[in-house]
Structure 1
Amino acid sequence: MPFSTERGEGFENRLAELLADKLGKGLSYSWYPQATGFVRNTLAAHKCDVIMGVPQGDDLVQVTNPYYRTAYALVFKQGQGLEGVDTLGDPRLKGKRIGIVAGTPPGNNMAANGLMAHAKPYPLVIDTRVDSSAAAMMHDLATGEIDAGILWGPMAGYYARRTNPAVTVVSLVKETTGPRLIYRIAMGVRYSDQEWKRQLNRTIQESQPAINKLLLSFGVPLLDDSDRAITEDSIAK
């Protein structure tokens, strides 16, 4: 979680259901580890017709228009003196024990700001059916094992809602050095499926308010093109 499960609990499951309903199509899933050969053994092998949750710019597939925009996020417990921190260059993070998933882009930003000496790494490659680095990090944050953590936004928002005591989630949109931490997320189709891509693009556009509402219900921190947070109130306007 929060992306997808075989029981259909994730937001990508729910989004696939929404799109299938709008398009009047049946829905089935093809499961394969997110590793080398993923596209070759799924989309390219015609075991599926669309891949959910593809970063815009992925050249292994033809991407649709993006259906959300989000960023890596800093998470910390409230009342720990980190209120107002919104960049990894903030001096209040110096000396703090910060959790980071190994091999993810924010690690470069942490290194550039001298934050790696006290970092606690979590594994990137795991069997997500039985384990979750995000859940482990949020547990350590709640118990005081770490002072803060950095997670992919959808994971940060989802697990923050399930963590006690209360956790603040800050999208890292103000970083000026290092790799980009903000991404547009789309769907991937075969390069030959031009009409299918156009159908999906139309459906995404028509369904965007419902898509935003669905993502927000899972705690996904959504951003507009000016890096402002998209909220339930802004959707309603």
Structure 2
Amino acid sequence: MRRASALVALLICAALPASAQVADLRSKTEFRVCADPAAVPMSSEDGSGFENRIAGLFGEKLGLPVVYTWFPQGSGFIRKTLRAGLCDVVIGYAQGDEMVQNTNHYYTSAYGIVTRRDSPLASVDTLTDPALKDRPIGVVAGTPPATHLARAGLAKDMRGWDLFVDRRVENPVGDMLAQVKSGELAAAVIWGPLAGPLVKQDPDLQFTPLLKESSGPRLFFRITMGVRLEEQEWKRELNSLIRRHQDEIDAILRDAGVPLLDDYGKALKP
């Protein structure tokens, strides 16, 4: 009889939808954030990143303390943090990635060109500009602008950095910016939320968003928060916070130096 009862219980569990089988992993006493400890200027273990500030805003609105699970944002990041139940939200995640359930997007940004302000390339705003020919250009390998540069006949001019690195020991964006400043690179093509805040701190450099590229792959992305696939109620709660506090989110991003675009990646957001 006991074995039969156990079998019935097992069959009932198997018949339930996946969401009902999964325990509610979200903490009700802490705002638990999954983050890279060294993804400056986005997130940092010292709390200085703009994603840290957004997490602080949400923790305040929820009336919960912000607690972090730190892990390098590369291979295994989602599996070993969010899906493992160690934390409940990734503050910045590109819309459309199937590894997480995306909230509504809370900003849109784009890749852009970093040059010295006194460079002859300072006016370049498209990757097909002939002025880029025969000049060393930094780019992260495997990113959309690398495809654009190759298509424009600039493959031999590209100087590549790895996409997935442990930023506690490697700093691709910092290296590229240092080489642009020194003149070793004529320019670098970098994701705006990474480059914009760092360039803002350096009067010798400038960031120009790439808004005129007409061919794919696209160079702009909408950024959301990421939660577990089955947590619909949590997603709706975060969507409500985003909607009600969008102006405060924008203020944090603008203060950091993140280039904000309209939803279509065609113009800077007013």
Question: TM-score, normalized by length of structure 1?
Answer: 0.92
Work out whether 1:188 is the aligned partner of 2:226. yes
- Three-state SS of the structure 2 residue aligned to 1:71 is strand
Percent identical across equivalent pairs? 45
Q: Which of these two proteins has the greater Rg computed from alpha carbons?
A: 2
Tell me how far apart the structure 2 counterparts of residues 158 and 191 of structure 1 sit (CA, whole Å).
31
Out of 244, 250, 260, the position equivalent to 1:222 is 260
Out of 112, 121, 131, the position equivalent to 1:82 is 121
For structure 1, which segment, 78-87 or 4-13, has the greater mean C-alpha deviation from structure 2 after superposition?
Answer: 78-87
Instruction: State the aligned residue count.
Output: 230
Tell me how far apart the structure 2 counterparts of residues 68 and 61 of structure 1 sit (CA, whole Å).
18
**Higher RCO (CA 8 Å, separation ≥ 6 residues):** 1
Match of residue 242 from structure 2: 204
Work out whether 1:27 is the aligned partner of 2:66. yes
Quickly say closer, same or farther: Cα 1:35–1:78, change in 2 above 3 A: closer
Give 1:24 deviation, angstroms.
Answer: 1.5
Please tell me the root mean square deviation across aligned C-alpha atoms, in Å: 1.4
After TM superposition, the structure 1 = structure 2 runs for residues 106-145 of structure 1, keeping only pairs within 5 Å, are: 106-145=145-184
Do the aligned residues in 1 keep the contact of 2:126 with 2:210 (CA within 8 Å)? yes
- Unaligned 5+ residue runs, structure 2? 1-39
- Unaligned 5+ residue runs, structure 1? none
4+ residue runs over 6 A deviation: none
Tell me how far apart the structure 2 counterparts of residues 72 and 160 of structure 1 sit (CA, whole Å).
13
Question: TM-score, normalized by length of structure 2?
Answer: 0.81
- Which amino acid in structure 1 is aligned with residue 189 of structure 2? I
Post-superposition Cα deviations, 1:118-155, rounded to whole Å, max 9, x if no partner, equal 22222323221233111111111111101111001111
Do the aligned residues in 2 keep the contact of 1:134 with 1:159 (CA within 8 Å)? no
Give the structure with the larger helix fraction: 2
For structure 1, which segment, 129-138 or 140-149, has the greater mean C-alpha deviation from structure 2 after superposition?
Answer: 129-138
Do the aligned residues in 2 keep the contact of 1:72 with 1:152 (CA within 8 Å)? yes
Give 1:45 deviation, angstroms.
Answer: 1.4
Tell me how far apart the structure 2 counterparts of residues 122 and 69 of structure 1 sit (CA, whole Å).
24
